[in-house]
Amino acid sequence: MIPQSTIDAINRVRDAFLTAVRTLPDVPSFATLRQSSPELGGEFQRLASIASRRHVAEPCTGRLTVAIVGSSGHGKTTILDEMFPALSARGWLETDVTDTTSQALALEYAPPGDPIAAAATVRSWSISQVKELMNHADVRDQNARDGIEVAYHDDLVAVDGTHATLDAKDLAAWRYPRRVELRPFAEPFEVPPERAADRKFIRALTVKEQSSVLDPAPVLQHAGHSYDALQLRAVVESVTLRDDFEQVLQWAGADADQARKLTFVDTPGLAVSSVAKDEVLRHYLGRKSHQLALDLLRDDRLDIVVHLVLCGQKSQFDTLWREIERACGRAEAEALAERIVLAINGMNVYLTNPDVRAKYTDRATMLREGDHFAATLEDNVLQRMSPRGNLRPARIAFLDSRRIVDAFADYAEFYSRHRRTMETWTEPGGPGHQTLARHGLVESFRENIDAIADPSDRGQGFLVRQVLGLAADKGATILARKHLVRTGLLQATGELHALLGRFYDSQGALNTDAVRAALSQCLGFLDATDPLAIDRFATREIDRFVDGLIPSEDETARDDWAAEAFLRLGEMVKEAIIEANGSRVPGAVWHEFSRFFDDRIESWTERWGYRAVDWPPPPDAAVGTRELLGHCLRLHARELLFQLMSAEDLGADSGAVIAQSEADRETIAELLRQLEDATATGVRTCAQAAVPTHAVPGNQGATR
Amino acid sequence: MKPQSPAHADVQSYHWIVLPNTGVQICRGFPIARSVRDDAEKLFDAAHRQASRQPDPTEALRLIDEHIACNREIDATPWLQADPNEFVFHRLRRAGGELQLDLVIDTCNGAGSQAGNRVPLRVGEPSRFSLRRSEPLAEVYVEHHRNARNEIGTLIVDFGNTGSAFVFSRDGAGPLQARVVEANNPFDPDYRARDRSEAHVLRSNMIVLRVSPNEHETPWIVLGERAEELIRRHPLTSYLYAPKKYVRDWPDIQRAPEPTMKFRGIAGQRVGLHPMLTFVRTTLDQMFQRVLASLTNPQFTSDAPELYPQIRRVMLTYPLTWREVDRRLFADMVNDTALRLFAHDDEHREQFEVELICSEPVAVAAYVLWETIFQFESQNLMLAASSLGNVAGTPELRMLVLDIGGGSTDIACVDIGWTVEPADGSVDVSFRMIESMRFNRAGDRISHLIATVIVAFLESKHGIDEPLDFLHESREPAFTLTQKRLAVSTISRLAEECKRAIAGPARSWTLAPHDETELVACFAPLLDGDVWRERVGRGPELTIDEAALRTWLTRDTQTASPETNGEPGFQDVFVYLAELRRSLAEKGREPHCVILSGRTTRLGFLRELAAKSLKLPVHRVRTLGDILPRSAQRHGERNLDKLAVVFGAQRFRFGDHIRFQALPGEAIFNRFIGTVRESRTGLRLNQIMIRPGDGTPKTISVRIEPARDVRIGHAFREKGSAQVIANLSNRSHTEAFDIELDVLDDYSVRMPPHPQVVLTEWVPGGNDFVVDNFNDTGQIDQEPRGLLRHLTSDRYRD
């Protein structure tokens, strides 16, 4: 189970952030500051925009989404059909067709007898998602090549094949209009129970019928617009169904509570290509399945990925992986590996296919070609899942389908007959043992054998338990990473706290006036209108002394030599400012300036990276390190002066004196407290969940 | 050295081994056969006699004599041609009491292009000369590529308007082991006087030295500084300044405006007019020949190939705003050239690919990032980021690359993020382009301004008011095109010197008397006798300082004259930067730092102007040389502007533990887009059809009246300065149309084919308009006429 404390902590951070973002615009002092400084306005807007991100806008419920990803023809729907027999009975899982449409099927838990279980929710893509796919280079080029014209409007995309240059026979077979408008739903469409049980409607939504039998008439009316099956195929992202998870809960045993919090998502098959049945939308729909899976992963809507591969077949996951890398970066793709459960479907193939059998029954074949697991698991799957190969999924499960096995034997009898053979694979020296051991699978495979031999489990239950096991192990990590880190929520919370800290003291009182006055007086010798003023001052007063701040090559320095040097630089800059001012600055003003300056130096030592520097100190410092540090110090001397001068400007653009009421001060103080607490909570939660965070402002204990 | 057979060394000549298709190869100081060394004096005399007996030397021989990169100060015989139909040449030279040969062979034409050929090099006719004449002095042997020491690798190319740079990265080599190809120029008799550091960057201007009417014969092309000199002397010959600007895909409907040129060499010509792209291809071809020649024979002294680079991949950088079709065209051109020129094993030929790796500003950003991460090491990236201006402590950086080159200014704001893999310290860096723009205003505009001032000075001091336009017939017939050409290139040289002086510590330039003499001498036929020489030493002198230049440039805006027709001036680059900053600030995405690249940024005040426009302190606006301390720089400061692009591209792909990835841009518009109109304050949007934040792409409908044009443009602000991105032209004189246009992003517009309406994409500041091109045309201050003189009027009134 995912600890409730993790979920609560995530929501605490979220609440504090959202409260601050919603409250601040109405706090008079902040509103005035925001108006008077475009930089502050921009900064606040950037941070506030985090609030609309999917996993910030909605609270964390602890639910995890489990996506079943696999290529067409690998038995995905057959397995789901057996895992969710009630849905199958309702006709939503069509196993007798290979040409299914391109949307995700989401299966959520609903208690038995709950009326919601009979309904369904259809969600569509947004207009930007439709546009993105239609404008994908491949789709665009193919459409242009075939004379299919596309117009992109605010709320719809119109695809016009009136002048298409396709084969005349092909065009003659078209049943849908040549001009199709793709208009995404503004709101999800709730399918009433009677409609959700209508086989014709279900087939229109889930199956690509042969043109000879299809009905091109509209099948759905929504928000004043009608949609035929082709249009639905193009705009629908997912259909959400509810089920009592009867089988799944049985298999979950003690983890039934967690199992109820799972949403299973059947994603459309990988590596689908365009088909003539999609008529004018053939090129668009040829890529839709892929794009859909990519979108779900990119938006962090798939927490655990079950990659299902039919035994003996090759994984095509790498095509998706490449897209993820291209869209999100390699690090994102790599992070996916720890959330993947590999499901090898069709255990019976190991026992019946002569080629596979030869790999464990015939020693010569085994020596020549590797054992059966080396071929089916390593070569066909693990080395093909990522473009760089050798992916190590978090868990691996073997399973089978009763319907498939029953087609040629009695399931229980079949596995009872072959059980001993499978057991030999787990014995040292037995065929396949070496490969299982290499992947740390020997123990789990023993358990897997028990499950697969059990006709009521078939390894499907084992798979569910593997998913639940992964949820227990990694659930907190997945949630913390998804809600706090990848959304930018934690970082933004820290930054918002730091932003407020530039204008208010910890009691919520505006400190800008006093600080501004002090800065203005102490830095008055620098002409703010001259872009070279800082540079000239630093060149004259600082640069030549910088080398003296750095321990010499033969000196034995402390580990924090870089931070030490930066603090000394701060002292030097302060001295230089005193020098430049002579005795003109009154003591009280200097005191205020000094307080502000020291506070900033402390913070900058952290945030500018000096505290975290990990270079061996002299005399072990590598050649050039001292020069590099000197280079940084010279730059940061200028940066430091620039920051001070900017602070002097903050909120001063309007020239207005900002009044602050007691209520205003209290509100700000409370927000500061909440944000500070939230930042610390978030960092702690991430640390506990082993989720790396970067230096979150205002937090001293950042981890990687 | 490979004597044929050691046992018979006394009677055998040495072989000079070359590889086909490696350009014009030279071997300086090749040893002659031992068997004839004793007869050195006789041999030398015989060579002289033989040369004098060549009553009608071939044009190729004459060109070799005048242009080949061999020492002219050495005691040497005239050049001899082994066979008038072959491009193999030799001469004897005396060096330190020893007799040697200088050898030349064209490995792309004739005998040199066929593996297995042997060409004996002799002096004298066997029947008329008494030396052991049956033995050649040396023999050229054309070897098969497969027998050379093959190094398999990737060639990374930055093809620039002013200069091009090449890096060869051997397979398996680390990022620091890649080498810059120092391209030698075979047609440069003054090669010894050239600055060696310039060899890292090959100047891209070219002139045709020799062209045969036979289309299958590879022309001889001169590149670089020598080309510039020859252009001055041979104004009627085909030449190109800034070849890259002609890389443009012309759809059939727009073929009419595609520029063409005659194909005429200093020797030889081909009939008809040829698209400029042909010359770009020829230039690329020549550059690749140089690369091969330089890798096989780095100093032009190798008697056998040092190695043959088996190039299985060519990686190209490209200008930011090139359209997809232009990029493809460029890649296809390179692919064709490479497949024709490069020899591959069958296996590698199949694998061969040309890859458009990244845009030039992204390459610069990758270079900066790679070097910074490498120096700081992955555990200290917070310090690295703060040194580049991100003082928030986050693993990100918004870097604005401001590349002010010779002919265009590229602006790119890149959002960079990174993650460090704690297990091995590897770093994944992602790039996402936030904003980009190109202006056709850069260093050449500055040169043009200076040239205008020089011309005004000539007029006021010497009374010279003759137009230099090459097409304009002079009042005085003696003032020929050659003299105009010489005058233009002298002005051009002085303008460059002026820029260099202002970029230097003096920050000021004065026209020296000897330069003034040289310049005025170009106009001698227009002047009365030599009286002008007396004026040179007296009277007003021309001085241009940084402040003056800065003032003139600040005045150079699209509103400086009603006749600019909306074309941006130099200052508009900075107007744009200010608007860009405002737009980014509103989104909380201001750049953390600015990287100045391109030679023109050596002018110090540009840094200040950029800082001011972007409201950044000057220490956050850095040249490539300022990114790291001097001790951490490795490629030499002088050419860093150019090498950063090619090394950045190389690091982008072969970054070792620092991996780069370009992420797709956001699918939203960042600008207001609509129709454009003129206003007193410059171009403004008229009817706005797209707003920032709208999703891309979007179809807009535009009404176009008969025989009218409608311009489509974008702007950061509703009422801000606009830039044109496309022009619609209705050819019908009677019918109006409602046209649907797909606006794909802030820069790209597409229209389905229409029988009457033509869409022309204006690549912003892009490659379809060639401006400030006075080197090619002699037209000074004609865009619009008198504008630059108006901008600099305070100076010329002096």
For residue A46, the chain B residues in CB contact (below 8 A) are: 587-589
Given a cut of 90, whether residue B233 has pLDDT beyond it is no
For residue B694, the chain A residues in CB contact (below 8 A) are: 154
Amino acid in position B289: Q
Angstrom distances, CA of residue A325 to CA of A341, B32, B423? 19, 60, 20
Q: Which of A329, A608, A612 sits opposite B430 (nearest CB)?
A: A329
Q: With b meaning 16 or more CB within 10 Å and e meaning fewer, what string describes B658-696?
A: bbbbbbebeeebbbbbbbbebeeebbbbeeebbebebbb
Q: Which of B393, B417, B744 sits opposite A695 (nearest CB)?
A: B393
**Phi, psi of B610, rounded to the nearest 5 degrees:** -65, -45
Which ranges of A608-661 does DSSP label H, i.e. alpha helix?
A: 625-649
B 167-206 residues with CB < 8 A to A: none
Q: Looking at residues A555-560, what average pLDDT do you find?
A: 90
Q: Closest Cα of chain A to B595: distance in Å? A: 15
Sequence-ordered list of residues with C-beta below 8 angstroms from that of B106, at least 6 positions apart, any chain: B23, B24, B25, B87, B88, B112, B113, B218, B220
Q: Tell me how far apart the alpha carbons of residues A271 and A601 are, in angstroms, rounded to a whole number.
A: 55
Q: With b meaning 16 or more CB within 10 Å and e meaning fewer, what string describes A433-445?
A: bbbbeebebbebb
Mean pLDDT of chain A: 88
Instruction: Read off the pLDDT of residues A345-356 as tens digits, 9 standing for 90 and up.
Output: 999 999 999 999
Angstrom distances, CA of residue A371 to CA of A354, A429, B779? 13, 12, 78
CB contact under 8 A, B384 and A44: no
Strands ordered across the beta sheet of B206-210? B220-223, B206-210, B239-240
Which is more confidently placed, B580 or B720?
B580
Q: Closest Cα of chain A to B382: distance in Å? A: 5
For residue A531, the chain B residues in CB contact (below 8 A) are: 608, 611-612, 617-618
In B391-548, the DSSP E strands lie at 396-404, 409-421, 426-439, 508-510, 543-545
A462 burial type by CB count under 10 A (0-12 exposed, 13-18 middle, 19+ buried)? buried
CB contact under 8 A, B392 and A607: yes
Instruction: Tell me what pLDDT residue A462 has.
Output: 97
Q: Which of A153, A491, A531 sits opposite B699 (nearest CB)?
A: A153
Instruction: Tell me what pLDDT residue A273 has.
Output: 66
Residue B124 region, left (φ>0) first, then alpha (ψ -120 to 50), else beta?
left
CB contact under 8 A, B393 and A609: yes
For residue A153, the chain B residues in CB contact (below 8 A) are: 698-699
CB contact under 8 A, B380 and A128: no
Instruction: Read off the pLDDT of residues B242-278 as tens digits, 9 standing for 90 and up.
Output: 888 788 887 776 666 678 889 999 999 999 999 989 9
Write out the H or E segment, with its range, that includes residue B743: strand B737-743
B 561-590 residues with CB < 8 A to A: 582, 584-590
The residue in chain A having the minimum alpha-carbon distance to the alpha carbon of residue B667 is A132
For residue A499, the chain B residues in CB contact (below 8 A) are: none
Q: Which of A150, A330, A628 sits opposite B661 (nearest CB)?
A: A330
Q: Which of B7, B12, B1, B6 has the alpha carbon at shortest distance from B34? A: B12
For residue B422, the chain A residues in CB contact (below 8 A) are: 692, 704
Q: To which residue do tokens 């054992």 refer? A: A371
CB contact under 8 A, B619 and A704: no
B 713-752 residues with CB < 8 A to A: 740, 742, 744, 752
ipTM of the complex: 0.86
Residue spans of the domains in chain A: they are 62-74+272-480, 488-688
Q: Closest Cα of chain A to B628: distance in Å? A: 7
According to DSSP, the β-strands at A220-222 and A225-227 are: antiparallel
Q: Which of A153, A491, A535 sits opposite B618 (nearest CB)?
A: A535
Kindly give the interhelix angle for B224-233 and B481-503, rounded to the nearest 10 degrees: 140
SS3 of chain A: helix, strand, coil, percent, to 5: 55, 10, 35
Instruction: Read off the pLDDT of residues B78-128 as tens digits, 9 standing for 90 and up.
Output: 999 988 889 999 999 988 778 899 999 999 999 999 999 999 988 865 444
Given a cut of 80, whether residue B225 has pLDDT beyond it is yes
Say if residues B359 and B318 touch (Cβ distance below 8 Å): yes
Q: Looking at residues A408-430, what average pLDDT do you find?
A: 95
Q: With b meaning 16 or more CB within 10 Å and e meaning fewer, what string describes A587-605?
A: eebbebbbebbeebbebbb
B 200-239 residues with CB < 8 A to A: none
Write out the H or E segment, with its range, that includes residue B704: strand B698-704
Domains of chain B: 6-143 (no CATH), 150-351 (3.30.420), 375-441+566-628 (3.30.420.40), 443-553+772-797 (no CATH), 672-761 (no CATH)
Q: Which of B380, B391, B586 sits opposite A613 (nearest CB)?
A: B380
Confidence category of residue B5, pLDDT binned at 50, 70, 90: very low
B 357-416 residues with CB < 8 A to A: 375-377, 379-387, 389, 391-395
Q: What percent of chain A has pLDDT over 70?
A: 95
Q: Closest Cα of chain B to A184: distance in Å? A: 14
Q: Which two tokens stand for residue A100?
A: 């299914």
Q: Does B426 touch chain A (CB under 8 A)?
A: no
Instruction: Read off the pLDDT of residues A3-19 as tens digits, 9 standing for 90 and up.
Output: 999 999 999 999 999 99
Q: Tell me how far apart the alpha carbons of residues A569 and A637 are, in angstroms, rounded to a whole number.
A: 7
Q: Closest Cα of chain A to B729: distance in Å? A: 21
Q: Looking at residues B339-367, what average pLDDT do you find?
A: 90
CB-side exposure of A107: number of CA atoms within 13 Å?
25
Q: Which of B640, B625, B643 has the alpha carbon at shortest distance from B317? A: B643
The residue in chain A having the minimum alpha-carbon distance to the alpha carbon of residue B695 is A128
SS3 readout for B5-30: CHHHHHHCCEEEEECCCCCEEEEEEE
Q: Which of A80, A91, A55 has the alpha carbon at shortest distance from A306? A: A80
Q: What percent of chain B has pLDDT over 90?
A: 52
Instruction: Read off the pLDDT of residues A165-206 as tens digits, 9 standing for 90 and up.
Output: 989 988 998 999 999 999 999 899 999 888 888 888 888 888
The 3-state DSSP class for residue B542 equals coil
Q: What percent of chain A has pLDDT over 90?
A: 57
Q: What is the DSSP letter of A3?
A: -
Sign of CA dihedral B609, B612, B614, B620: positive
Q: Tell me how far apart the alpha carbons of residues A607 and A602 are, in angstroms, rounded to a whole number.
A: 9
Residue B397: strand pairing partners: B416
Strands ordered across the beta sheet of B709-715? B682-690, B672-679, B709-715, B722-730, B757-761
Amino acid in position B84: P
Instruction: Read off the pLDDT of residues B406-431 as tens digits, 9 standing for 90 and up.
Output: 778 889 999 999 988 888 899 999 98
Q: Tell me how far apart the alpha carbons of residues B762 and A148 are, in angstroms, rounded to a whole number.
A: 25
Q: To which residue do tokens 């002026």 refer? A: B498
For residue A562, the chain B residues in CB contact (below 8 A) are: 383
The residue in chain B having the minimum alpha-carbon distance to the alpha carbon of residue A148 is B752
Kindly give the interhelix angle for B481-503 and B443-462, rounded to the nearest 10 degrees: 120
Q: Tell me how far apart the alpha carbons of residues A23 and A25 are, in angstroms, rounded to a whole number.
A: 6
B106 burial type by CB count under 10 A (0-12 exposed, 13-18 middle, 19+ buried)? buried
CB contact under 8 A, A631 and B628: yes
CB contact under 8 A, A39 and B585: yes
Q: Which of B161, B204, B248, B159 has the alpha carbon at shortest distance from B768? A: B248
The residue in chain A having the minimum alpha-carbon distance to the alpha carbon of residue B379 is A614
Q: Tell me how far apart the alpha carbons of residues A208 and A230 are, in angstroms, rounded to a whole number.
A: 9
Q: Which two tokens stand for residue B763?
A: 């690549």
Q: Does B694 touch chain A (CB under 8 A)?
A: yes
CB contact under 8 A, A326 and B590: no
Angstrom distances, CA of residue A399 to CA of A312, A349, A376, A467, B774? 13, 11, 14, 13, 76
Given a cut of 90, whether residue B201 has pLDDT beyond it is no
CA dihedral A588, A593, A599, A600 (to 10 degrees): 180
Write out the H or E segment, with its range, that includes residue A47: helix A38-48
CB contact under 8 A, A329 and B380: no
Which is more confidently placed, A490 or B35?
A490
Instruction: Tell me what pLDDT residue B2 has.
Output: 43
Say if residues B223 and B164 touch (Cβ distance below 8 Å): no
Q: Looking at residues B329-351, what average pLDDT do you find?
A: 90
Q: Tell me how far apart the alpha carbons of residues A550 and A552 are, in angstroms, rounded to a whole number.
A: 6
CB contact under 8 A, A326 and B664: yes
Q: Which two tokens stand for residue A192?
A: 């009433």
Q: Which of A154, A531, A612 sits opposite B382 (nearest CB)?
A: A612
Q: How far apart are the first and last CA of chain B?
A: 66
